Structure 1
Amino acid sequence: MSSEVRGSVKWVEKGQFIGKVEPGRCSIVLGDGGISPMKLLLLGVAGCTAYDVVMILQKMREPIEGLEVEISGERREEHPRMYEKVHLHYRIYGNVKDEKAKRAIELSQDKYCSASAHIKLSGAKLTYSYEIIKS
């Protein structure tokens, strides 16, 4: 079964747009004075996998205390300027076991994170690294 997502983007002025996704009351400024759509795409990937990793580690009963995901991407020079390479760096806080952290990241990247799957399907090479910062 598929689920539908609806949203809209409204031109405000010059190169500025306001985007909204339903349901919800959240909106985002795109373009001038806001975030570019391609940067937003990267943040979507980072947010998707961050959510997965936290949920998976909690289900594993690992003592995760915090998580930061840094993401970088390299785009093609020619149009469409798609991402060719994307790298994620996970910074996991807490006394999490190394093998559990690695497994949670692999599950996110190989099974659960739909945003990462879209990046990979576009032909981009997605890599990751991680570190565990013990408390």
Structure 2
Amino acid sequence: MAGSGRYMLRSLASSSGTKMMNPKPRMVSSEVKGLSVVHDETNMEFFIKLGEDKAFLQYDVLDPATGAVDLQHTVVPEVFRGQGIAKVLAKTVMDHFASRDKHMKLTCWYLQKFYKENPLPAYSGKIIE
């Protein structure tokens, strides 16, 4: 899988406490259902800090000219699963890209499920098969 290497490197870097390559990532955050969702554009990741852990959604840019993205992985630490955290990430990320008129490829199985259960008009025409 093309994105798997990046996923493994990020996971190892996050768990070992090592700093990422770019020490000053450009970040934007928003409050959703009491959870702060941060967009780390440099590392192409949205995340929610959960104490010492974090839930995250990683993406890649498919086409720099159009800004189309591949939403690849959604990960929630096991202890926090079943609490709607993945849903908050999914909605925030899909709303973010849809509001910027960006097309999205839903590689992540959870995002495919979320989209099927939430076929919102804002996402219409924005999903790449």
TM-score of Structure 1 vs Structure 2, range by shorter chain: 0.3 to 0.5
Return the TM-score normalized by structure 1: 0.35
Higher percent of residues as strand: 1
Greater RCO (Cα-Cα under 8 Å, separation 6 or more): 1
